[in-house]
């Protein structure tokens, strides 16, 4: 029996995550015949688990400076043409209730499922064909046509969009497929690293690991990056928003610096005047959780009442607590990372359309690209904006 001839489309999108679905919906509604293929059994799995099930779907302050890339200007064009307000307008058109949690972060009141359902409705409105649950066996390019073999099927199109994301959380079906494919088609890849990920501490920091479960508002620094949010001690090291944010900037071997009392200066010398018989630990306990203040006081090792200490010594303690160095020995890796820093190098892509410069018809969007946002809805905004940009160009 002759194998049936491949189905023909205007565009094939690999990956039914946020970026792929947005791109498919936009291109479909512009009249393109679009096929989306994903090996997972359901679309938008990362959307479903995001934001504790409520999806932090955008951030009202999604300025380009809050994205990490070898080319910090690359994201500017797409972000300016599809903005948080555009996505919010879509959400409101679907009557999805939302709220701002903190720092411009917008979440669904109900469930992340509403976002996936909305994107699938938008795809349906564009007549998009969605094929889930089959592995992609091969991708080829010849005579201006891309051919994709998946499961028992084949399809061809003059345009191919790589939207298979990054390798974080492999148990959800995440792979480095985008990088392999991009390399095969001549694009470069900036070394991928786990980001928005907890940091691990070496054995000699066991004292801090005994604080597992304790959280405190701190300012965390790595290099020139600085985040004032909560940090959380874990049984393996450090987590919490401040640490997740800083992990995207941290490089192996570097220290991270924690200010345990951000914004406070002179507090210990002032305490000496006001409460001469207090100790470092009792004063610390005014600002920090008890277990943390006890551990820090143990490390500082300056027992006895404050009025027995010189001001200069107390100032040194203040300085140490404002710049406490931890030297993480690693991260919890792609298994726990919310995103990937690095990815398909932007110098091979058009920032306006996300098209490969040297291979007409090839596009890369979403997390697969070397653009990574801060924690707080930035990564979805990049998925929507880059998907929209390519969807307009297909
Ligand atoms: C736990 C968690 C919580 C998060 N919370 C938030 C949040 O609240 N706000 C925010 O902005 N960002 C959040 N993120 C980040 C956000 O989920 C991603 O940045 C975003 O999903 C990237 O979209 P994407 O479409 O590029 O990739 P993905 O959503 O990863 O989609 C890629 C798709 O490609 C498919 N795929 C992969 N490999 C293959 C292959 N070989 N063959 C076929 N299909 C393949 C996958 O199954 C997947 O459906 C979170 C991430 C995690 C892990």
pLDDT in tens, 88-110: 999 999 999 999 999 999 999 99
- CB-based contacts of 120, cutoff 8 Å, min separation 6: 21, 43, 44, 130
CA-closest residue to ligand 1 atom 52: 338
pLDDT digits (tens, 9 = 90+) for 202-259: 988 878 888 999 999 999 999 999 999 999 999 999 999 999 999 999 999 999 999 9
**Which residue's C-alpha comes closest to atom 11 of ligand 1?**
377
pLDDT (average), residues 50-68? 97
Q: What ligand 1 atom has the least distance to the C-alpha of 164?
A: 34
The pLDDT tens digits of the residues spanning 263-321 come to 999 999 999 999 999 999 999 999 999 999 999 999 999 999 999 999 999 999 999 99
Question: Confidence band (pLDDT; 50, 70, 90) for 2?
Answer: very low
Residue 209's pLDDT is 83
**What is the percent of the chain where pLDDT is above 70?**
99
Confidence at residue 3, expressed as pLDDT on a 0 to 100 scale? 56
DSSP calls for 104-115: TEEEESS-THHH
- Spell out the residues 6+ positions from residue 219 whose beta carbon is closer than 8 angstroms to its own: 226, 227, 228, 242, 258, 259, 262
149 pLDDT higher than 80? yes
pLDDT digits (tens, 9 = 90+) for 6-51: 999 999 999 999 999 999 999 999 999 999 999 999 999 999 999 9
Q: How far apart are CA 280 and CA 202, in angstroms?
A: 26
Q: With 60 as the cut, is the pLDDT of residue 381 above it?
A: yes
CA 255 to centroid of ligand 1, rounded, Å: 29
Give CA angle at 190 (45, 364), nearest 5°.
50
- pLDDT given at position 10: 98
Ligand 1 atom closest to 46 (CA): 17
Ligand 1 atom 26, closest CA: 366
CA of 284 to the centre of ligand 1 (A): 41
In the prediction, which pLDDT does 104 show? 96
As for ligand 1, residues whose beta carbon falls within 6 Å of it are: 14-20, 38-40, 45-46, 49-51, 55-56, 136, 163-165, 168-169, 173-175, 177, 338-339, 366-368, 377-380, 383
Residues linked to residue 324 through DSSP beta bridges, in sequence order: 258
Token representation of residue 220: 């965390």
The predicted pLDDT at position 205 comes to 85
pLDDT reported for residue 16: 98
pLDDT of residue 1: 45
Among 10, 141, 145, 115, which residue's Cα sits nearest to residue 54? 115
Identify the three-state secondary structure at position 4: coil
- Summary mean pLDDT of the chain: 96
Mean pLDDT confidence for 335-353: 98
20 alpha carbon – ligand 1 mean position (Å):
10
Please give the number of the atom of ligand 1 that sits closest to the Cα of 51.
Answer: 8
Could you tell me the distance, in angstroms and rounded to a whole number, from the CA of residue 33 to the centre of ligand 1?
A: 24
């Amino acid at each position: 029996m002759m194998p049936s001839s491949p189905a023909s489309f205007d565009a094939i999108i690999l990956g039914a995550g946020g970026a792929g679905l947005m791109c498919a919906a936009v291109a479909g509604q512009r009249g393109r015949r679009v096929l989306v293929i994903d090996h997972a059994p359901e679309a938008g799995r990362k959307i479903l688990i995001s934001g504790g099930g409520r999806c932090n779907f955008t951030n009202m302050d999604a300025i380009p400076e809050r994205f990490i890339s070898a080319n910090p200007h690359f994201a500017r064009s797409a972000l300016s043409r599809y903005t948080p307000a555009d996505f919010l307008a879509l959400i409101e058109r679907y009557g999805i209730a939302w709220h701002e949690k903190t720092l411009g972060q917008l979440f669904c009141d109900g469930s992340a499922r509403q976002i996936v359902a909305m994107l699938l409705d938008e795809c349906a409105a564009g007549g998009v064909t969605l094929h889930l649950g089959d592995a992609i066996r091969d991708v080829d390019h010849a005579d201006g046509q891309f051919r994709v073999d998946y499961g028992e099927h084949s399809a061809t199109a003059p345009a191919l969009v790589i939207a298979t994301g990054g390798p974080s959380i492999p148990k959800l079906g995440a792979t480095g497929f985008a990088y392999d494919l991009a390399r095969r088609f001549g694009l470069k890849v900036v070394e991928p690293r786990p980001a928005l990920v907890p940091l691990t501490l070496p054995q000699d920091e066991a004292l801090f690991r005994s604080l597992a479960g304790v959280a405190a508002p701190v300012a965390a620094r790595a290099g020139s990056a600085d985040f004032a949010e909560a940090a959380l001690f874990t049984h393996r090291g450090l987590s919490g928003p401040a640490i997740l944010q800083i992990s995207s900037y941290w490089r192996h071997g570097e220290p991270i610096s924690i200010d345990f009392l951000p914004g406070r200066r002179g507090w210990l010398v002032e305490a000496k005047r006001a409460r001469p018989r207090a100790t470092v630990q009792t004063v610390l306990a005014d600002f920090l959780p008890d277990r943390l203040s006890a551990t820090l006081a143990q490390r500082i090792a300056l027992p006895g009442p404050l009025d027995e200490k010189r001001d200069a010594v107390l100032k040194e303690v203040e300085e140490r607590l404002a710049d406490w160095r931890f030297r993480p020995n690693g991260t919890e890796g792609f298994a726990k990372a919310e995103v990937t820093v690095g990815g398909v190098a932007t110098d091979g892509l058009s920032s306006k359309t996300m098209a490969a410069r040297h291979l007409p018809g090839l596009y890369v969007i979403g997390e697969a690209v070397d653009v990574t946002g801060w924690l707080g809805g930035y990564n979805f905004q990049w998925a929507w904006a880059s998907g929209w940009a390519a969807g307009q160009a297909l």
